[in-house]
Amino acid sequence: MTTPTAPSESTRQLKEKVTHIRTLPAALRWIPGAVTVVLMMMTLDYLFNLGWLRFVTGLETQFYYAVVALLLPLVYLLWPVASSRQQRPIPWYDYALSLATLIVGGYFVYHAEAILERGWAFAAPDTAILASYAWWLLIVEAARRAGGWPIAVIVATFSLYPLVADVMPGPIQAFPSTLEETAMYHTMSTESIMGVPLQAFAGLVIGFLVFGVVLQKSGGGRFFINLAFALLGHVRGGPAKVSIFSSGLMGSMSGSVISNVLTTGVLSIPAMRRIGMGRSFSGGVEACASTGGVLMPPVMGATAFVMAMFLDVPYAAVALAAVIPSILYFLGLFIQIDAYAARHDIKGLPAVELPSLVETLKQGWYFIFVFALLVWMLLVMQREAVAPFYATALLLVLNQFSRRNRWGLRELGEALSSAAKLFAELIAILAGVGMLVGALSITGLSGTIANDFIHIAGGSVPLLLIMGALTSFVLGIGMTVTAAYIFLAVALAPALIQGGGLDPMAVHMFILYWGMLSFITPPVALGAFAAATVAGARPMATGLQAMRLGSVIYFIPFLFVLNPALIMQGAPLQIMLVFVQAVVGIVLFASAMQGYLIGVGRLGIGALHESLCRGLVLVAGLLFALPGGGMVPLSQFELLAGALTALVPAVLLARWSQRQARPHLAGMTTSTDR
């Protein structure tokens, strides 16, 4: 089996439609790569304290300003003022905006020491105030181009909120500020643009993004896809299970749901179609697998690094907390796929069409070795800031010994350019979202809004959780997951932690998971819609399939909030018992969703029997997975007894129904939505 070296034409068109990134003129194509090189030099100098570039890395805030000043001008060169299907020359005003961004950013870099020592965030010279107005506007427009209108409107509205804070309704009324005070605070304090989101990007995210780009461009993506096909391609429903494995690993590289779909989906979706799976089902599988990939340690999306900064814990703690929830999510998806394949008698691919496991490992063993080094440095040495740089350096060295994947100048240029585009997009969004945090900080609302949420919920923790879930989901529709998470980490998380007495890590993970749901839940479901384009399926049908296949993710966050042992908070024995219990519950829940249980077969034959069996197994799964005590009014023993009370009759009824219908099944054929 051969792996495509480039995406299909329809996929390429979708990518352009999603990102709207321009192709730079030939004379300017060196700029993104050069920006990446300079950024790497600055970051290495800052992290390793080398002293090469002390004129931009001498102060922490000076380094942050330099990062924004270097990357933000790229946004005006790469993203047009309005999306268009046709490539047009860069207009003069975008060159002017790019240059203005560089000049204004350079001003703040040059005066970083004065800003810090003389307190310009509260009293600045007139020139600095004018620069602050320009920086404010340029960042909002850059966020609009890179992140879309919803995030720009939200950022602009909240950044202006301090001007009218005193005339707002009761719960959101706060201390007002003048336009000058607001502009100075946004641009020159460490609580707004230069706040936690940007600090996480500069201190942690850059290295992991570089690692992901190098891993993909050096053939890591092709290796993991081939490895998945070699291991799972021949089993029942093999290509769909391959999608889980490969997308989970690719998510660790890209941190982007859409990128996952467009990278692994071009191979896994056609393979699923070949073995008889429907278009919408195939697209739904890929969308769910790609969404889960962003939640899979050791390298999660950018949001996880921001979370570590908010919680003031090592990134390794966040990655460790995400292990069991991500396993449960992928287990639920795997069981649904297996049940679907068993129910519809869908086989795997012929062995002759699959890559050799031995040959695949021989060609790409070093990718596994590099991943192992990264995990060791993250979890054992806890050197999360520098770990990806060591892993990237080792990967580049080992890759040059591979005849198949060895880089030349062209591959190096492509990797540098791809990294620059990722950096520019993320810095525009994070700088903009920082102003959300800044607005809540300058008005004092960040200290009082938690009490307002608790008051609205009447002190009810379950109601607070439901409010948090719905708010995270709604914001995830209009904003990126990172943006939605940052806003809720400031506004809602303290309410859940203080008012509900919940574990801080569990609360922040809860917000992250519910923010991710918009990728697979209609009416938006961007991940599912991207997969539908690759599969040639109807977008809404694919979204509904993805919602069904990924259904376990809707209640997994409630499980680990109710029992933090599922995020490694507790004694080892307790963690193991809760994990086993959750596994049983997830298996039953996922089996009920597809109407097939391993060891039992179809859950009922005929509409009445099937509805009853599936309903009972679904209830049993939920009761098995639910932790007893605390907010749950039943003990663990009572929940297990209730689960068995529902499960045993369901199994007996399913067996009886199968025996009754067996004489009539010989000639039956199953159909899928081909």
> Residue 399: is its pLDDT beyond 50?
yes
Confidence at residue 139, expressed as pLDDT on a 0 to 100 scale: 97
Average pLDDT over residues 77-91: 84
What does the angle CA 33 – CA 34 – CA 40 come to, to the nearest 5 degrees?
90
Confidence at residue 213, expressed as pLDDT on a 0 to 100 scale: 87
Confidence at residue 648, expressed as pLDDT on a 0 to 100 scale: 95
Output DSSP code: residue 405. T
Domain match, 158 and 225 both: no
Domain match, 216 and 178 both: no
Domain match, 191 and 207 both: no
**Lowest mean pLDDT, pick from 244-248, 508-512, 518-522, 591-595:** 244-248
Nearest CA among 598, 63, 644, 19 for reference residue 337: 598
How confident is residue 295, by pLDDT bands cut at 50, 70 and 90? confident
Domain match, 266 and 393 both: yes
Domain match, 93 and 127 both: yes
Instruction: Output 170 or 407, whichever has higher pLDDT.
Output: 407
124 in the Ramachandran plot: left (φ > 0), alpha (ψ -120 to 50) or beta? beta
How confident is residue 478, by pLDDT bands cut at 50, 70 and 90? low
Report how far residue 186's alpha carbon sits from residue 190's, in angstroms, rounded to the nearest whole number: 8
> Residue 1: is its pLDDT beyond 60?
no
Domain boundary among 380, 407, 434: 407
* 229 phi/psi in degrees, rounded to 5: -65, -40
Domain match, 226 and 266 both: yes
pLDDT in tens, 590-622: 999 999 999 888 988 888 889 999 999 999 999
Query: Is 596 strand, coil or helix?
Result: strand
How confident is residue 255, by pLDDT bands cut at 50, 70 and 90? low
> Residue 402: is its pLDDT beyond 50?
yes
How confident is residue 669, by pLDDT bands cut at 50, 70 and 90? very low
> Residue 670: is its pLDDT beyond 50?
no
Structural domain includes residue 581 = yes
Average pLDDT over residues 312-327: 91
Beta bridge partners of 632: 629
Confidence at residue 161, expressed as pLDDT on a 0 to 100 scale: 93
pLDDT in tens, 376-398: 998 888 888 899 999 999 999 99
Average pLDDT over residues 205-212: 89
Domain match, 112 and 247 both: no
Query: Is 621 strand, coil or helix?
Result: helix
Tell me the two tokens of residue 37: 């090189």
Tell me the two tokens of residue 155: 């950022």
Domain match, 293 and 327 both: yes
Distance, first Cα to last Cα, the chain = 23
Q: Which residue has the tokens 């904003």?
A: 479
Domain match, 242 and 302 both: yes
Confidence at residue 251, expressed as pLDDT on a 0 to 100 scale: 64
Confidence at residue 150, expressed as pLDDT on a 0 to 100 scale: 84
Q: Please give the mean pLDDT across all residues of the chain.
A: 87
In terms of residue numbers, what domain contains 175?
25-197
Beta bridge partners of 597: 601
Structural domain includes residue 449 = no
Domain boundary among 197, 212, 239: 197
> Residue 144: is its pLDDT beyond 90?
yes
How confident is residue 6, by pLDDT bands cut at 50, 70 and 90? very low
Beta bridge partners of 272: none
Domain match, 165 and 207 both: no
How confident is residue 460, by pLDDT bands cut at 50, 70 and 90? confident
| Cβ(204)–Cβ(319) below 8 Å | no
Count of domains in the chain?
A: 3
Structural domain includes residue 478 = no
Confidence at residue 70, expressed as pLDDT on a 0 to 100 scale: 97
Structural domain includes residue 257 = yes
> Residue 9: is its pLDDT beyond 60?
no
Torsion angle defined by CA atoms of residues 433, 435, 438 and 442, in that order, rounded to the nearest 10 degrees: -150
User: In 312-408, which ranges are continuous DSSP H helix?
Assistant: 315-321, 323-343, 357-379, 387-399
Long-range contacts of 8-11 (CB under 8 A, 24+ apart): 8/266, 8/534, 10/533, 10/534, 11/262, 11/265, 11/266, 11/533, 11/534
Domain match, 133 and 227 both: no
Average pLDDT over residues 497-516: 88
Average pLDDT over residues 162-184: 90
User: Above pLDDT 90, what percent of the chain?
Assistant: 46
How confident is residue 252, by pLDDT bands cut at 50, 70 and 90? low
How confident is residue 185, by pLDDT bands cut at 50, 70 and 90? very high
How confident is residue 12, by pLDDT bands cut at 50, 70 and 90? very low
Report how far residue 514's alpha carbon sits from residue 627's, in angstroms, rounded to the nearest whole number: 20
602's enclosing H/E stretch is strand 601-602
Domain match, 242 and 390 both: yes
Report how far residue 489's alpha carbon sits from residue 469's, in angstroms, rounded to the nearest whole number: 13
**Lowest mean pLDDT, pick from 6-20, 410-424, 563-577:** 6-20
Structural domain includes residue 150 = yes
Q: With the C-alpha atoms ordered 49, 53, 55, 60, is the resulting torsion angle positive or negative?
A: negative
Domain boundary among 131, 163, 197: 197
Structural domain includes residue 477 = no
Structural domain includes residue 248 = yes
Confidence at residue 475, expressed as pLDDT on a 0 to 100 scale: 78
Average pLDDT over residues 437-455: 81
> Residue 461: is its pLDDT beyond 60?
yes
Confidence at residue 664, expressed as pLDDT on a 0 to 100 scale: 60
Structural domain includes residue 36 = yes
Beta bridge partners of 629: 632
645's enclosing H/E stretch is helix 636-665
> Residue 7: is its pLDDT beyond 70?
no
